[in-house]
């Protein structure tokens, strides 16, 4: 029974990932306004009914990879040594998730352009980021002996880490910095951990 349940969950995760990847690719290639649920389902080789078992809208499917990525990161954070400082765990996991290849940069730029051109997708992205922050906060609370239902600490750490990573990623993806992505992320974490000291003139 356990094997069957595990196989079923893996198949569901694979279907969700296929739908999200198809939605994102079609949105970048065609523009969100030209993408339908039927087209996404066909690209993932499933029925529109199956699509609605996973997502309520095309916009939700387009940004679903953010939530799935956050789930993988939280699993990795939970697997870090229990006595490791939480910021060390976060930095190790975030840096380990980077892809700073030219191909990844081009994909990120195309995705950012697509998202910023459509308010509905921006709203879905913001909702996904909030889900990610809350999931991180729960994991951080478990690691630090705090309570995510009433303590500020895990939410502030989760928000600071997530925003630090996104800020470095945005700067890198838009081509406004020629520095390697891992350097930008490492510096962002270092600055936040230091309390954001004002740079010298």
**pLDDT per residue over 32-81, tens digit each?**
999 999 999 999 999 999 999 999 999 999 999 888 888 899 999 999 99
Q: Token pair of 137, please?
A: 């906060």
- For residue 52, the domain's CATH number is 1.10.10
Domain match, 118 and 176 both: yes
Domain match, 115 and 133 both: yes
Domain match, 43 and 11 both: yes
Task: Tell me which residue range forms the domain holding 105.
Answer: 63-201
Residues 81-133 have pLDDT tens digits of: 989 999 999 999 999 988 888 888 888 888 888 888 889 989 988 888 898 89
Residues 155-170 have pLDDT tens digits of: 999 999 999 999 998 8
Please give the pLDDT value at position 142.
93
More confident residue, 32 or 176: 32
Looking at the structure of the chain, the number of domains it has is 2
Flag whether pLDDT at 1 surpasses 80. no
Q: Token pair of 175, please?
A: 């081509």
The answer to whether residues 135 and 145 touch, using CB atoms and an 8 Å cutoff, is no
Of the three residues 57, 85, 103, the one that is the final residue of a domain is: 57
The answer to whether residues 43 and 26 touch, using CB atoms and an 8 Å cutoff, is yes
Residues 94, 96, 97, CA angle at the centre, nearest 5°? Answer: 65
Q: Token pair of 81, please?
A: 């040594």
The overall average pLDDT reported for the chain is 91
């Amino acid at each position: 029974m356990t094997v069957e349940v595990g196989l079923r969950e893996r198949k569901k995760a694979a279907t969700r990932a296929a739908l999200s990847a198809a939605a994102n690719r079609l949105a970048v290639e065609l523009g969100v306004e030209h993408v339908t649920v039927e087209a996404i389902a066909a690209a993932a080789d499933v029925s529109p009914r199956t699509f609605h078992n996973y997502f309520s809208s095309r916009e939700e499917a387009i940004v679903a990879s953010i939530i799935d990525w956050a789930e993988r990161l939280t699993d990795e954070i939970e697997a870090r040594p229990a006595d490791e400082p939480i910021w060390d765990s976060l930095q190790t996991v975030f840096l380990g998730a980077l892809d700073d290849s030219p191909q990844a940069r081009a994909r990120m730029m195309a995705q950012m352009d697509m998202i910023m051109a459509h308010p509905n997708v921006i709203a879905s992205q913001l909702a996904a980021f909030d889900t990610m922050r809350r999931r991180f906060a729960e994991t951080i609370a478990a690691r630090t002996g705090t309570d995510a239902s009433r303590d500020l600490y895990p939410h502030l750490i989760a928000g600071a880490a997530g925003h630090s990573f996104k800020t470095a990623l945005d700067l890198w993806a838009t081509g406004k910095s020629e520095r390697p992505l891992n350097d930008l992320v490492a510096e962002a974490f270092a600055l936040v951990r230091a309390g954001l000291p004002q740079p010298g003139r």
